[in-house]
Structure formats: structure tokens, C-alpha cells
Chains A and B, each alone.
Chain A
Amino acid sequence: SQQGEEDPQALSIQEGENATMNCSYKTSINNLQWYRQNSGRGLVHLILIRSNEREKHSGRLRVTLDTSKKSSSLLITASRAADTASYFCAISPMEYGNKLVFGAGTILRVKS
């Protein structure tokens, strides 16, 4: 499967703690993206990391990419209750142009 696979499936932390989610995939990629979804809504793009990049930051978000291990991680620092949502990684497989394939997601709950 080209699909990204996230772990853990669910994560529950206290406000102020850091949250780390991981994504693994099986094919060569153009880029890997992370998205957030609040319950019953559309997805919001968080960050895109290209295959030749190793790390990117955006505010409290830090994404790493290891193409040799075909894995990525999303770190949310100093989490807030408003970060409670589902988080998905999506890969753009190199051999399929603009195809964008999502994983099953991680449900993050931040308790206040």
C-alpha cells in the first residue's frame, strides 16, 4: 500500500505537554504533508516537507523526515486544549504525479 500509517492511533496528554505523532510509508515520495481535522470538518494543511528536506518548523510544530527509514514525525510543543483534533499524514508518491494518499490518522486529546 502507498498509504502512510500513523502511530499512535490515539494520544491523550495534559495541556502544556508535547505531543509526538509518527508516520511511516512504503514508497518513494515527492513530499509528505501533515493535516489536522476537527470533528466533522474539512482538513487544514499544517506543514509540507519535501523529500530533500530533513526538518521543518512552523510555530509550535516541528516535522522531521527520514527518507531512508521512510518515516516522519510531527511534534506539537506546549500543547493546548485547542490542539485536540485528528492529525493525518499524506504522501505524494513519486511515480503518481499529484496523487495524495492519506493515512488513518492519530486522534489527539489535550486535557486542560
Chain B
Amino acid sequence: DGGITQSPKYLFRKEGQNVTLSCEQNLNHDAMYWYRQDPGQGLRLIYYSQIVNDFQKGDIAEGYSVSREKKESFPLTVTSAQKNPTAFYLCASSYHYTEAFFGQGTRLTVV
């Protein structure tokens, strides 16, 4: 089945820890995106990538890092520098200038 897969669905992080969220797609899409959603809010763009080995900061990149070593994969690391990481994280992918397909999200909680 073609699609975009995020894992894990739920993630718990201790204060000061780095954690990595996985996003994999088999849709052959060039562009991939990471968004953060807080309760009752819209989506805020963290990072996006238009092509392998290239990515750009979105509106709230501080405290996050990404890599795009393979077309299929765009992992997001939430670093200890992100002071309020508890949120719902959504990954998406698309061809250039077309509809985006979303994963089911990862809910990150700081404990």
C-alpha cells in the first residue's frame, strides 16, 4: 500500500532528552514537511524539504533538527533546546505544487 507512515504514535520524553520522530513515505514524493499542532490550534511549519539532501527552516525551527538522506525518509529530532515540546507532530509529503498527504501523527509528551 502506498502511503506515509509516522512512528511511534505516542512518545514520552524526559526533560533534557533528545527524541527522534520517524516519517517514511513510499509515494515517490520529492517534498516532505514537518508540522507541529498544539491543542485547538492550526499547523505550524517546522521544516520542509524539496529534494534529497536539502531542507529549509519553517516558522518554528528552533529546538528541532531534520535530515533528508533518502527520498523516502525525513526524520525529525526534538532536541533538549526545545523548551515546550509537548504537542502533536504531523509529517506530510507531496509532489511539487500538489496536494500533500499526511501521516497519522505522533503525540509527544514530556514527562
Contacts and interface: CB of A to CB of B under 8 A. Distances in A.
Interface of A: 3, 30-31, 33, 35, 40-45, 48, 88, 90, 92, 96-105
A98 to B, nearest CB: 4
Contact of B105 (A41, A97, A99, A103): A41
A98 B94 contact: yes
B97 A102 contact: no
26 contacts: A3-B42, A31-B97, A33-B99, A40-B88, A42-B103, A42-B104, A43-B100, A43-B102, A44-B102, A45-B99, A45-B101, A48-B98, A48-B99, A92-B97, A97-B96, A99-B58, A100-B92, A100-B100, A101-B45, A101-B59, A102-B35, A102-B42, A102-B44, A104-B41, A104-B42, A105-B42
Interface of B: 30-31, 33, 35, 41-45, 48, 50, 56, 58-59, 88, 90, 92, 94, 96-105
